[in-house]
Each structure stands twice: as C-alpha cells, then as structure tokens.
Amino acid sequence: MPQMVPLLAQANSAETFLTKLIDGLALGSIYAILALGLVIIFKSTQVLSFAHGAVAALGAYLAAYFVTVINWPGRYFESLPVTLSFIISGFVAVAFAALVGMLIERIFIRPMIGQPLFSIAMITIGIDIVVRTFVGDLLGQGGNLSVGSPWGILSISKFGEIVVPHVFIAAIVTVVVVVGVLILFFRTRMGVAMRATAFDQEAAMAQGISAGRIFALAWALGAVLAAIGGIFASISPRGFGVTGGTAFFALRAFPAIIIGGLDSIAGAVVGGFTIGIAEIMLGHYLAGASGTLGLGFTGLIPYLLMMGFLLIRPYGLFGTEEIRRV
C-alpha cells in the first residue's frame, strides 16, 4: 500500500496549514476531475452513471498494464525515461476509455432512450459490476500492479517549511482539463450543440443536431475524465494503487457532484475541491480524536458533507433548483 506523505512540520503552524491545503487541493483535484466526467454525462443525457468508478479503475489498470506488464512504449525505445513512458501509456489508456464510453452508450444506453431514467441508472450499475469484475480478473487474486513512482510522484519538494507532494501535478492537470472542457463547451461547434441538446433535445434535433452523436460524445468525454481521474487516483498516496479499490475511490465523485449540483460544471470542480480539502484538513486536525472516530473516518467525510448538503441545499451549490408541486 502507498504510504502517506511523510510530514515534517507536525506543529499546527501556518506552514502546516498550507501544506495540508496543498495536499487537499491535490486530492480534491482528482475528485474534481472524476466529478466533472459525471456531470458531463448527466448534463447531456440526464443519466447518472454508476459505472463511472469502474471506468476509472479500467483506465488506471490499462495505464499500468502498458507501462509495467508489457512495457509497451519502453520496449521500442530503450532509453525512454519511465515518466515519459507512463505519460504515453496514460494517453493510450484514456483513448481506450473513450472507446469504452462510446461502446457503453451505443450498446446499452442508446436503445434505452425514452425509457424511465431509473431503468437506465440500473443498467449503469450492471455495467459497473461487469467492468469491475473484468478489471479484477485482469489483476488476478489480490492483484496490484505497481507503476512505481512516475515523476517521483510519491516524493515531495520543500519550499521552506511548506511541503509540496508531487502528486500535486494532478491539480495542474485538472486546471488544464477544466479549461479544455470550458473551451469545448463555450467555443466549439460541438460544445454549443451539446449544451443545446442538454437544454432542449427536440429543438436541438430540429436544428439538425444528431442527438445520438452528442450522447456518444458525452459518454466518451465522461469516460476520458473518469480514466484520467482513475490514473491519478491509482498513483496518489491517498488512493488504493492499481486495484479494484480505485472504483470505490472514484465513487467519492458522487458526494462532490451532489455538493456542487448535479448539472453544474463549476459545481463539480468546487465540490471536488471541497471534499478533498475537507478530507485532508479534518483528517489532520481531528487526528487526535481518531481513537474515538476510528482510523478510517476520513473516508466518511465526503459522505457526511453530502448528507449535510442534501438537508440544507438538496440541489447543490450551483445546481438547477427544481421546483415541483407536491
């Protein structure tokens, strides 16, 4: 199992606070990227994909498989540094995930258009079980592929007393991805079509937009984000490595989107960072109480936050407020 980043400043100083904040941002960015994928699928197709975690695990597995098992990019270029090899594998894994997302949409979701959303959600649970079992089989009994430490991901840099774990690179990738998604949605022809379809499917079809293609694109994009999130989750010190556990780690994207609002891109990002930072901060400052709360209590924090939000703001921070007459 990956180790927690060793901490130098244990005192509750400002440096510790900043260190923990950076830790939280790094973790939150992984949640944010996973949540963003869910929101894109939900916004375009009104479907909550419970298969998201499984796709994340698949992405993580594929990336690790290419690097460690078949040494795929490395076998052709002897001198290829492992980091570069890992990045290439990551891209290939993400492309695979996009394909898987499109296949899921085409085979299971498209024929269900017009059926009750509850049935479609049930189907995604089925897909989740199938994909997770498949990944588990590939990994074998108690399997865990180690990708080692690309970018020295488990190491840290120190700026004075402030400790920056290298997994912080996930936060940078998240920023790039979020900017990319925003450009896609607000600047490109396909993105504008996606928003139009999400708003009024029939009116979009009347403009000549093919709703089927938009759905496929949304699922592909969702799967891409799931895979990126899964890869980072598997190399993060707080993740479970390349195991089936990544699927459960990715489930924390659900609290993130419920906090942020199911159909809001900004909400997914804010929600992801919120639970990431809360998990790390509360974990640190309540560490003394872990005797009472239990050692694994940090894993509960996202869900507790979610329950609180459901009571106070059921539609989330940025979600569309749905008013229904009872």
Partner 1 sequence: MLEVSNLEVVYNDVVLVLRGLSIEVPDGKIVALLGANGAGKTTSIRAITGLLDVHEGDITKGEIKWQGERIDKKDPSDIVKSGITQVMEGRRVFAEMTVDENLRTGAFTKRGTSKEAYDKVYDMFPALASRRKDTAGYLSGGEQQMLAIGRALMADPKLLILDEPSLGLAPKLVQQIKQIIVDVNNTGVAVLLIEQNANMALSIASFGYIMETGKVVMDGNSDKLLNDEDVQEFYLGLHGTGERKSFRDVKHYKRRKRWLS
Q: Which is nearer to partner 1, 13 or 207 (CB)?
A: 207
Q: Over the range 63-75, which residues count as b (16 or more CB within 10 Å of their CB) and which as e?
A: bbbbbbeeeebbe
Alpha-carbon distance values, 39 to 7, 65, 145, 222, 246 (Å): 35, 28, 30, 8, 19
Give the rounded distance of the alpha carbon of 71 from its chain centre.
Answer: 25
Q: Which is nearer to partner 1, 40 or 154 (CB)?
A: 40
Q: Which is nearer to partner 1, 134 or 185 (CB)?
A: 185
> CB of residue 159 vs partner 1: minimum separation in angstroms?
42
Question: What SS3 class is residue 242?
Answer: strand
> How far is residue 124's CA from residue 129's CA, in Å, rounded to a whole number?
9
Question: What SS3 class is residue 272?
Answer: helix
Q: Which is nearer to partner 1, 209 or 275 (CB)?
A: 209
CB contact at 8 A, 18 and 277: no
Query: Which residues of the chain form contacts with partner 1 (CB under 8 A)?
Result: 114, 189, 192-193, 195-196, 199-210
CB contact at 8 A, 100 and 55: yes
> How far is residue 64's CA from residue 258's CA, in Å, rounded to a whole number?
31
> CB of residue 319 vs partner 1: minimum separation in angstroms?
14
> CB of residue 318 vs partner 1: minimum separation in angstroms?
13
> CB of residue 111 vs partner 1: minimum separation in angstroms?
13
> CB of residue 321 vs partner 1: minimum separation in angstroms?
14
Q: Which is nearer to partner 1, 206 or 323 (CB)?
A: 206
